Amino acid sequence: MKNEANLGSESVGKLLFKLSLPAIVAQLINVMYNMVDRMYIGHIPNVGASALTGVGVTMPVIMAISAFAALVSMGGAPRSSIMMGKNDKEHAEQILGNCTILLFALALILTIVFMLYGKSILMLFGASDTTIGFAWDYMRIYTLGTLFVQISLGLNAFITSQGYAKTSMMTVLIGACCNIILDPIFIFVFDMGVAGAAWATILSQAVSSIWVLKFLFSEKSFLRIKPKYFKLSARVVLPCLALGLSPFIMQFTESVISVCFNTSLLKYGGDIAVGAMTILTSVMQFSMLPLQGLTQGAQPIISFNYGAGNADRVKKAFKLLLISCLVYSTALWAIAIFLPQVFIGIFTNDAQLMVFSEKAMRVYMAVSLMFGAQIACQQTFIALGNAKASIFLALLRKVLLLIPLIFVLPMFMSDQTMAVFMAEPIADFIAVSVTVTMFTISFRKLINKMNQPIKEQLDPAC
């Protein structure tokens, strides 16, 4: 297997660094990509504030479109790595081909749905008579580029899964650079406003899509897209969708949780509580990017060596991932608890909001040091193809615990505003405890089975 990283024999430590660093950089670039987009929109003369609010309303829809890309790619990519580890290139390419055509089909369906009902959906998500014009101007154009989003996000995961981390990073970098250049040209030079920002975004995604497709059709890629594998097979597709359901739920429910937090905080704490929540979620999302990069770097190592039956390398990769994640999450927790103003000062200089946010951050991120174990274990479940466990854990933290706690805790605590913030650490503590327990039992059994001298191993995704 010729790629940037030899997943089966190179030092696990060097591999994790080599694959994780580009993934972390790609995550940071992606965030800057979105931030720059909003900065330009917010500075449109006379209507910047309304335009920014209108585009903000479209974010849940954009997250939903991205979630469907994750449904296919985050299930298909680990399974293709596992098949490569088993030296079954044909099956791995069949997975790639099936996932490619499935992404095209999903893009077509999503485009039709949002073009027909997008305006009504935006009104449900909080658009007003003042902002719906800006929101729909952005959304109707962005919807036309749904195919490019599905391809650039969905198929890029298959580049990462083969060990081509630098190539995967370039997909994001190319799109981000194009967007940063095109945004001011379309918005200000051509005076297209919000519509110009949308055109800049989808054209940038189109360039990224061309980059991805060109690579996966070329001989540079170990796995190549082949039209003969475009015919959908339930045997191939269903295990991928089952495995991808966990990241799909995690992404899709983000918008639901945001609405739940904001409505409860507005009820009990007013605008200042909602403002603090905006800061806290921004800090949490941005600071978690290195953890996401680490798990993306570890996934192909774990999946490939699991498929190859190399238990020692699977254990080493997970152990190194776990230690790295825990060290980072503990450092993050220490800053949040003892020096919260370091984070808060980035977003506001309002004295009242800063004081309130410091107290809220200490509650909200009280057990965030444990989150390193949560993400390491949960993402390793996905890397090992364990669909059932990953789906349950995705539902547990957000749907079964966090959302109910947001509404239940204020009924039993005198400080109802802080009770809403308290929902996060309680949900995290329970979820991490359950995740670590489940993973320890499952992982020990899996390693023992891999060490047994038998020819066939049970596929957890089946």
Looking at the structure, tell me whether residues 160 and 302 fall in a common domain: no
Confidence class for position 126, pLDDT limits 50, 70, 90: low
Looking at the structure, tell me whether residues 324 and 213 fall in a common domain: no
Does residue 111 form part of some domain?
yes
The CA distance from 114 to 127, in Å, is 15
Looking at the structure, tell me whether residues 106 and 158 fall in a common domain: yes
Read off the pLDDT of residues 363-397 as tens digits, 9 standing for 90 and up: 999 999 998 999 999 889 888 888 888 888 888 98
* Single-letter code of the amino acid located at 216: L
Q: What percent of the chain has pLDDT over 70?
A: 93
Looking at the structure, tell me whether residues 370 and 445 fall in a common domain: yes
Let me know: does 251 contact 72? Beta carbons within 8 Å. Answer: no
Give the range with max mean pLDDT: 7-11, 94-98, 117-121, 312-316: 94-98
* Neighbour tally for 456: CB within 10 Å: 5
Which residues 6+ apart lie within 8 Å of 419 measured at CB? 268, 409, 410, 412, 413
Q: Which two tokens stand for residue 189?
A: 């030079």
User: How high is the pLDDT of residue 1?
Assistant: 47
Looking at the structure, tell me whether residues 195 and 275 fall in a common domain: no
Q: Which two tokens stand for residue 187?
A: 């918005």
- SS3 annotation, 393-444: HHHHHHHHHHHHHHHHHHHCCCCHHHHHHHHHHHHHHHHHHHHHHHHHHHHH
Looking at the structure, tell me whether residues 224 and 361 fall in a common domain: no
User: How high is the pLDDT of residue 34?
Assistant: 64
Looking at the structure, tell me whether residues 204 and 282 fall in a common domain: no
Does residue 259 form part of some domain?
no
User: How high is the pLDDT of residue 277?
Assistant: 82
Confidence class for position 33, pLDDT limits 50, 70, 90: low
Q: What is the CA radius of gyration of the chain?
A: 22
Does residue 242 form part of some domain?
no
User: How high is the pLDDT of residue 53?
Assistant: 66
Confidence class for position 276, pLDDT limits 50, 70, 90: confident
Let me know: does 162 contact 222? Beta carbons within 8 Å. Answer: yes
Q: What percent of the chain has pLDDT over 90?
A: 50
Q: Return the percent helix, strand and coil in the chain, to nearest 5.
A: 85, 0, 15
User: How high is the pLDDT of residue 455?
Assistant: 46
| Last residue of one domain, picked from the residues 217, 232, 247 | 232
Looking at the structure, tell me whether residues 351 and 207 fall in a common domain: no
Mean pLDDT score across all residues of the chain:
87
User: How high is the pLDDT of residue 460?
Assistant: 46
Does residue 245 form part of some domain?
no
Looking at the structure, tell me whether residues 280 and 415 fall in a common domain: yes
Looking at the structure, tell me whether residues 223 and 290 fall in a common domain: no
Does residue 1 form part of some domain?
no
pTM to 2 decimal places: 0.77
Does residue 197 form part of some domain?
yes
Looking at the structure, tell me whether residues 332 and 397 fall in a common domain: yes
Q: Which two tokens stand for residue 16?
A: 């994790």
Q: What is the DSSP letter of 396?
A: I
> Of 90-104, 146-160, 445-459, which range is least confident?
445-459
Q: Of 190, 58, 187, nearest to 125 (Cα)?
A: 58
> Of 28-37, 126-135, 291-300, which range is least confident?
28-37
Instruction: Provide mean pLDDT across the span 356-368.
Output: 93
Q: Which two tokens stand for residue 28?
A: 């940071």
Does residue 23 form part of some domain?
yes
Read off the pLDDT of residues 175-184 as tens digits, 9 standing for 90 and up: 988 998 999 9
Count of domains forming the chain: 2
Looking at the structure, tell me whether residues 215 and 287 fall in a common domain: no
Q: How many residues does the chain have?
A: 462
**Domain region containing 376:** 266-451
Does residue 244 form part of some domain?
no
